[in-house]
Structure 1
Amino acid sequence: MNKQIAEFIGTFTLVLLGCGSAVIAGSEIGFTGISFAFGFALIGMAYGIGSVSGCHINPAVSLGMVAAGRMTMPEAIKYIIAQVAGAVVAALILLLIASGKADYSVAENGLGQNGWGAGYLGEYSMVSAFVFEVVATFLFMVVILGATGFGPTANMAGLAIGIALVVIHLVGINVTGVSVNPARSIGPAFFAGATAIGQVWLFIVAPTIGATLAGILFKSGMLTADE
């Protein structure tokens, strides 16, 4: 259970601090600050729990690891259950904290949920949202698989992965709020209302496709360094 506990705590941290930066401090720190909050939360957890579970804290990453041949599906399922549970609990805690402010309303202020279309940030289309999430998750997974492989990059993996997440957020927050992580999307959507629940499928399907494609490429040897 130690791996599942680590994944629960890691995903909890990412959602509470990442989404919390948007909900509680977004007007002060802007998109740049939110981007760094997500990336730094991931870096901290990578070094905090990486030696225990590998710090996936993301169902798409776990499935990408399966596709790359670095994890079995039964183990990935255990990881995913822990990750989603951590995200849901984090979103609940964030809602309780945010609700302590007199003028906060989850319907009005949101809970850091992902989305697209009219009324959501840059109002990008569903197609734009889907393409961004597939491509961004693919690139994110390439960094993860490359940085955590055998070799001199392994010791710096947490930093490289966290920086990649920062850059992805800097580009994509206005498009989808940036998911690249189904658990990160499911947690806030659970409490954010019908629109968020109705759109969460995209943030499950698109990241899964992107991460799986990256895993397949590494498994095939096309993105593996020559011996």
Structure 2
Amino acid sequence: MKPHQTFEAILSLRADLALALRAAAAQGLSEGVCNHFSVAVPGQEDWFLLNPRGLHWSEVQAADIVMCNAQGEQLAGRHEVEPTAMFIHAAVHRIARKSVVLHTHMPYATALTLTAARALDTTLSQTAMRFHGRLAVDPHYNGLALDMTEGERIAHAMHGADVVFLGNHGVIVCGERVDYAYDDLYYLERACQAQVLAASTGGPLMPVDAALAARVAEQTHGERLQSELFFASLRRTIGSEPS
């Protein structure tokens, strides 16, 4: 990729990442000024864009996004980077080779990380079935990720999965593009919400056959227009930048 193309790609990705952060805040997926979204820079294998420390996601603009490398160094940006963000995201980009990495403590998904199963049952709701065969579980909570070693441990625990449930912690959702990953993040929380609500009734749950769940996952993952349309609707309703 030529330098001017890299620059244009960075501008576009910063805008998309900022939009995803504001959308997550609007849809109840954020937690204070914690958690982090990142996206790899095309043509620069070890660079990625990341939200800064200390800003509520609802106020993040494209110009606030910072740039880091896989060694955990900040390359550009007017704000500082939160240490756990650097260590987790640098490791996942470098080891798991994921383009987009979204880490949240969104409530219903996090609630399931506190259970013995640690994760979503992908044979329950139709929304959950889209994740069948795409989940990994890291059941070993080791405290805050304040060094590269913990980030590397999490990255290896993913085993190439798009979604990892971190025991007693939260979730990481990865994807090829910001719009695809955000769509998965949103619907993952909806699936977890449905499971938590169903379990709260105290009645028996009714899963479907694993083969059917796998077929639904293939149908959903094989057609991404809906993801693109969803993100486009967020651009219209939330706006490209806050006023």
TM-score tier by shorter-chain length is under 0.3
Which is strand-richer, 1 or 2?
2
Larger radius of gyration: 2
Which is helix-richer, 1 or 2?
1
